[in-house]
Amino acid sequence: MKPQRYLMDFNLSKSYLPQKIQANRESSAKKLSNSEVNAAMQKYFQLLKKKESKVQHPIITPTQSSKILSQLVTKVSPQLDIQYPVKPPTPTGTQSYRPSTEKKPHHRPQQSVGQSKDLILKKLQSALFQKPKTQSQQVTPKSAGKGSLSVNKYFESTKKLNQDQPQYYITKVKNAFTKPIHDDYFSRMYREHFFQTYQGIYVASYLSPADPKDLKNKQVRLKQKDIYKNKISIVFDLDETLVHCNESLAIPSDVILTIQVSPQETIKAGINIRPGAIKLLELLVNDFELIIFTASHPCYAQKVIEYLDPNKTLISHSLYRDNCIMTTGGMYTKDLRIFDRPLSQLVLVDNASYSYAWQLENGIPIIPFYDNKEDKELESLLKYLRGMQGCRDVRDYNKENLKLHNFSDPSGPGAVFEKLFQQKMEIQ
């Protein structure tokens, strides 16, 4: 009988031991106070954080940051490599329309006697849309807030504007060349931009039409609020039109934005806000649908747009580089046919004329902005845009007032100037 008893004792011990162990575990757990649990958790997270800190993230130098930023921001056209037909040579004796008294900017083409059009175009290609050497004489002050200097007073004069005020853009071009003026910053900018506008439209005339398949793939469906039904949609370019992104943080800026370029990498971008840019959007938003269309990368552009419109009450939609049509010459153009809006009610405000070269009569030029706080271009732009309210077709309005269809004349910018103003280009 002894073996049986020992076996019974052993079975009892087997059932007893787990219960005892479990009881010991429960009693030991009860001994830990809340403070001890919190201390243990804190120690665990400290060890985890220490382990994560050993993973080295790449350090971006200022030079690398500038290079990355230059890839994100599309401010000028890349070097062009356009396959174009050879047009007949210029007749012998053709004279240059460039005033001999004016300093020759580095990007402006000179039309020489007997020079063929293909050679002229090569010169246009090699230097098209580089930033002009014209520099602002006023250093950008530190921004006192959104909209930069004198934002509240900037548009005070708009109520006093009347029909006698000079016409937008085109009259200022004329004055920059023909009136006896000092060689001031804005006169130089208008002369520079007149040539750039001609270059962009002329070069675009050599480009192949957009591929219908590409247009179809780029098409967007943008929901329109009821308030904007039967109203004009204004598409704004971003860089050099509403803002300017500085090439280096060493340059004074209105605001420094942090751009997330990858999960591990961020860079800083110094942004100058064109005087009155935010106020312009506020004054237009009730009467026009406002859209941003930029050739820059979304990770950069979205940060800038968030700064301009933090409450998302001004800008209805934003389009980026992927929505642009890339030409054979390497230019990002903005073909308005991708929009589900009628072209009769759609305009594009852009400092680069090649952007709207596919639909010239929908384009509204504006001189580029870099840093000059005396810039008041948005004030006259506001009057021009308000003047098109109620137009059945904005293309008729633009054609009558801007006359951009004349810029495709292959005879040169001087001939365009004569067509526009019935006089030769000169500076006294």
The arithmetic mean of pLDDT across residues 172-187, rounded, is 83
Return all residues near 267 (Cβ < 8 A) that are at least 6 apart: 60, 65, 68, 69, 258, 259, 261
Predicted confidence (pLDDT) at residue 373 exceeds the cutoff of 60: yes
Residue pair 386/234 in contact by the 8 Å Cβ criterion: no
- CA within 13 Å, CB half, 120: 24
Digit-coded pLDDT (tens) for 389-427: 999 999 999 999 999 999 989 889 999 999 999 998 876
Give the homologous superfamily in CATH for domain 74-245+274-421: HAD superfamily/HAD-like (3.40.50.1000)
> What are the extents of the domains in the chain?
74-245+274-421
Q: What is the mean pLDDT of the chain?
A: 76
Separation between Cα atoms, residue 178 and residue 414, nearest integer Å? 13
Q: What angle do CA 340, 343, 345 make, to 5 degrees?
A: 95
The predicted model gives 299-322 an average pLDDT of 96
pLDDT, one tens digit per residue, over 182-235 is 678 999 999 999 999 999 998 888 877 788 888 899 999 999 999 999 999 999
The answer to whether residues 315 and 89 touch, using CB atoms and an 8 Å cutoff, is no
HSE of 213 in the Cβ direction (CA atoms, 13 Å)?
0
Greater confidence (171 vs 153) lies with: 171
Mean pLDDT of 304-326: 95
> Tell me, what's the pLDDT at 179?
77
Q: What would the mean pLDDT of 27-34 be, rounded to a whole number? A: 54
Distances (CA, A) of 384 to 164, 347, 374: 13, 12, 19
| pLDDT over threshold 80, residue 277 | yes
- Look at 101 and 292; give whichever has higher pLDDT: 292
Rounded to whole angstroms, the Cα distance separating 27 from 249 reads 62
